[in-house]
Chains A and B, each alone.
Chain A
Amino acid sequence: MIQFIEVHKTYPKQINRSPAKHALKGVSFALNQGKTLGLIGQNGAGKSTSIRLIMGYMRPDQGEVIVLQDEKNNPSLRQQIGYLPETSTFPPNLTCMELLYFAGRCCDMPRKAIAERAETLLKRLGIWHDRNRRLSEYSKGMQQRASFAAALIHDPQLLILDEPMSGLDPIGRSEIIELIHDLRSQGKSILFCSHLLDDVERITGHVAILHQGNVLYDGAIANLCADHSDWSIDMRNGETISVKHEEKLSLILHQHADQIVGMRQIGENLQDAFVRVIREYQP
């Protein structure tokens, strides 16, 4: 669905502003059909640049960005893409229904189909009763839900979600995660960015870690964390020993076999793994 092949992008130097910035330095990753990929990284890592390249807002300096088997990023392809931007801003004096009508009409949907789909989505997202209020009167969380509805109105095959949980309360986050799971089960391909690594773990098992314009890791979360699990050994005297290396583990097991009452593997979570990968990076 999405393929990045050795993509480079530099933001040019601007007068009286920051110097030229090499935002992406040969980035390669792929999202296959029906899969979910979490794009994670610190601020300025290149996540938003990658998304803007996918959406065709910018062109790469070098390399190829192939979206839905098309290299030229034709606007008509966006009929199959649902995009939730990081900042959900719309013309403020529109109502949510007018926004959805606009989004639907742009995808050549008939009025009746837009109305039916809007009702289903807005009820699911909990803003049906506010559908005729102006978007400027919405809270940040409600704007995010309206933006989500606009991204899904045309039932796209590929979803690109930039910080989908931003501005949402814990209940809202759970509802959105549930919705994303439903979309996954319908076979949609989903690429999303998030700083909330707990949520990333709840949504997907596959991540790409971006750092300073480079992909440091692209693969399963399980593989990323498995190699760095700790062993916790409970001793008869109540003491707990934490062991990182398997060689040391076998030594302790050999020397203190009679004093050990239990042992368990404590897996590294995505947060720890992410911090480790970033700290280990040598440019």
Chain B
Amino acid sequence: MNRIIALARITFLNGLRRNAVWGLCLFALVLEICGMFFVDFFGRDLGRVISDFQFSIMWAAGMIFILFYAVQAIAWDEGHRSIDSILARPISRTEYVLGTMAGLSLLLLCFEVLLGGLAAAELLWARSLVGEAYFPVFSGLHFCVAWGGLQLILLAHLTVAMLISAVIRGAFPVMLITLAYSLICSGLPVVRASMSQAHGGNASDQGMVTVLQGMGMLFPDFGRLDLKDAVLSHEGIEALIGMQAWLPFSMIVLYMVLILFLACLIYQRRDIL
């Protein structure tokens, strides 16, 4: 555990001192502040517009962090040979993958806490400005759950980026495959829904439906963790997603554990040239 913490610490410190990470953070904060200008343009849906906008910025900033910074973590170490210096310590490959993942996750979470805090403050400010008639509900607890769901989506993408980094060399291919994974994850539920609508219970398409359902194991539907509507809703989260709230959370956590296990297993067996 000491080794994982030590590695997570240097990954975190190294990232924290990167100008690009600070630049992205500042850019996202400025964009969030721009959300205040919506107050003058929207009436009754003001809360929903601001909430959607803030969550979209948090998601986009997190994805940019993953696709342009986190995917480089292992590739940089291998390309610049700093992995030689790191693995010269009594660190196993598994500890290396877990330590790097922990450091990057911590960095991402710190970044998202800042953005999330500003988003919540802005929603409260907008509500106080326009009054309850235009902004009837704001649930702090639901905001935290929605924020947690978003973080799980981002962490799942980060975990997949670690798996791909463990399999192939080079930051660019890792970035492309992670991006493709993300696009498939968002597109698959749409394809599934259109298949079932177009063909109903047609037996000849049953095979395709099974394939699509099987693909759902590899490319999960992250839409179930997209709970931003709950922030402004009278209804509970269960009513929104149609199942117990803990279920999608625990399924994604299990998915991440399996992906990380696979990443460690593959990296353990790979030659570091």
Q: Does A243 contact B (CB under 8 A)?
A: no
Q: Does B210 contact A (CB under 8 A)?
A: no
Q: Does B180 contact A (CB under 8 A)?
A: no
Contact A106 B3 (CB under 8 A): yes
Question: In the complex, which of the residues A57, A77, A86, A101 contacts B272, with contact meaning CB atoms closer than 8 Å?
Answer: A57
Q: A52-B272, A58-B272, A105-B6 are in contact. Are A87 and B14 (CB under 8 A)?
A: no
Question: In the complex, which of the residues B13, B80, B81, B273 contacts A94, with contact meaning CB atoms closer than 8 Å?
Answer: B13
Q: Which of B1-19 contact A (CB under 8 A)?
A: 2-3, 5-7, 9-11, 13-14, 16-18
Contact B87 A76 (CB under 8 A): no
Question: In the complex, which of the residues A56, A81, A93, A105 contacts B13, with contact meaning CB atoms closer than 8 Å?
Answer: A93
Contact A78 B88 (CB under 8 A): yes
Q: Which of A75-92 contact B (CB under 8 A)?
A: 75-79, 81-83, 85-92
Contact B84 A108 (CB under 8 A): no
Closest to B82 in A: A89
A88 to B84, CA, bound (A): 9
How close is A76's CB to chain B, nearest CB, in angstroms? 5
Q: Does B90 contact A (CB under 8 A)?
A: yes
Q: Which of A36-94 contact B (CB under 8 A)?
A: 52, 55-59, 75-79, 81-83, 85-94
Contact B272 A92 (CB under 8 A): no
Contact A57 B11 (CB under 8 A): no
A233: B residues at CB distance < 8 A: none
Interface residues of B, dominant DSSP:
helix
Closest to B96 in A: A75
Contact B90 A85 (CB under 8 A): no
Q: A55-B88, A78-B88, A150-B85 are in contact. Are A98 and B6 (CB under 8 A)?
A: no
How close is A122's CB to chain B, nearest CB, in angstroms? 17
Question: In the complex, which of the residues A11, A86, A101 contacts B273, with contact meaning CB atoms closer than 8 Å?
Answer: A11
Contact B3 A88 (CB under 8 A): no
Contact B88 A151 (CB under 8 A): yes
Contact A106 B10 (CB under 8 A): no
How close is A103's CB to chain B, nearest CB, in angstroms? 6
Q: A83-B88, A85-B85, A90-B82 are in contact. Are A57 and B10 (CB under 8 A)?
A: no
B13: A residues at CB distance < 8 A: 91, 93-94, 98
Closest to A84 in B: B88
A58: B residues at CB distance < 8 A: 271-273
A55 to B272, CA, bound (A): 11
Contact B91 A91 (CB under 8 A): no
How close is B34's CB to chain A, nearest CB, in angstroms? 30
A83 to B6, CA, bound (A): 18
Q: Does A252 contact B (CB under 8 A)?
A: no
Q: Does B233 contact A (CB under 8 A)?
A: no
Question: In the complex, which of the residues A77, A102, A108 contacts B7, with contact meaning CB atoms closer than 8 Å?
Answer: A102
B80: A residues at CB distance < 8 A: 87, 89
A residues near B (Cβ < 8 Å) are 11, 52, 55-59, 75-79, 81-83, 85-94, 98-99, 101-103, 105-108, 134, 147, 150-151
Residue contacts A-B, CB under 8 angstroms, 22 given: A11-B273, A55-B84, A55-B87, A57-B271, A75-B90, A75-B91, A81-B88, A83-B88, A87-B80, A89-B82, A90-B85, A93-B18, A98-B10, A102-B9, A105-B2, A105-B3, A105-B6, A106-B3, A106-B89, A108-B2, A134-B17, A151-B88
14 further interface pairs, Cβ-Cβ under 8 Å (given A55-B87, A91-B10): A52-B272, A56-B87, A58-B273, A77-B90, A81-B88, A85-B85, A87-B80, A87-B84, A89-B81, A89-B84, A103-B89, A105-B3, A106-B2, A151-B88
